[in-house]
Structure 1
Amino acid sequence: MDEIIERLDNLQRLIESQGIYTKEVLNFNEACQYLELSQSHLYKLTSAGSIPHYKPNGKKLYFKRSELES
Structure 2
Amino acid sequence: MENELILHKLNRIEKYIFGLKDVLNVEELADYTGFKKSYIYKLVHSNSIPFSKPNGKVLFFERKKIDEFLLQNANKSKDEISNEAVEFSFKK
TM (norm. structure 2) is 0.68
Q: Which residue of 1 aligns with 2:23?
A: 25
Map residues 34-45 of structure 1 onto 2, 5 A cutoff.
34-45=32-43
For these two proteins, the number of residue pairs brought into alignment is 68
Higher-helix-fraction structure: 2
**Bigger Rg, which one:** 2
Farther-moved stretch of structure 1 (41-50 vs 55-64): 55-64
Alpha-carbon shift at residue 16 of structure 1 (Å): 0.5
Higher-strand-fraction structure: 1
Tell me which of the two structures has the higher relative contact order, counting C-alpha pairs closer than 8 angstroms and 6 or more residues apart. 1
Q: Which runs of 5+ in 2 are unaligned?
A: 69-92
Structure 1's consecutive aligned runs of 4 or more residues displaced over 2 angstroms after TM superposition are none
Q: Which runs of 5+ in 1 are unaligned?
A: none
Paired with 2:19 and 2:6, the residues of 1 have a C-alpha distance of: 21
Q: Which residue of 2 aligns with 1:60?
A: 58
